[in-house]
Amino acid sequence: MSGERPMHTRAARFECRICWTLYDPALGDPIWQIAPGTPFEDLPEAWCCPNCEAAKAKFLVIESNQSDA
């Protein structure tokens, strides 16, 4: 169905499809002054890859360890 978003945990990591930079919510993003513990979906709309400046839409979810729940 169109409009469906993939299911992932708030701790899921995301990887840039352009340069393969990893966004890990446990670490945040010091370049953008994003605090550790900030989930990907809570990043500011203007946030982009700190390495290549790709938009958030260019990131892919990496399966997180869901056994931590």
* Residue 58 domain flag: no
Domain region containing 22 = 8-52
pLDDT for res 9:
85
Closest to 38 (Cα-Cα) out of 62, 18, 14, 19: 14
| Residue, of 28 and 69, whose pLDDT is higher | 28
pLDDT for res 14:
97
pLDDT for res 8:
75
* Residue 66 domain flag: no
Can you tell me the distance from the alpha carbon of 68 to that of 22, in angstroms, rounded to the nearest whole number? 20
* Residue 26 domain flag: yes
What whole-number percentage of the chain has pLDDT above 90?
74
**Domains in the chain, number:** 1
The structure's pTM equals 0.78
* Residue 61 domain flag: no
* Residue 34 domain flag: yes
* Residue 35 domain flag: yes
Say whether pLDDT at 64 is over 80.
no
* Residue 13 domain flag: yes
**Contact between 25 and 11 (Cβ < 8 Å):** yes
Tell me, what CATH number does 26's domain have?
2.20.28.10
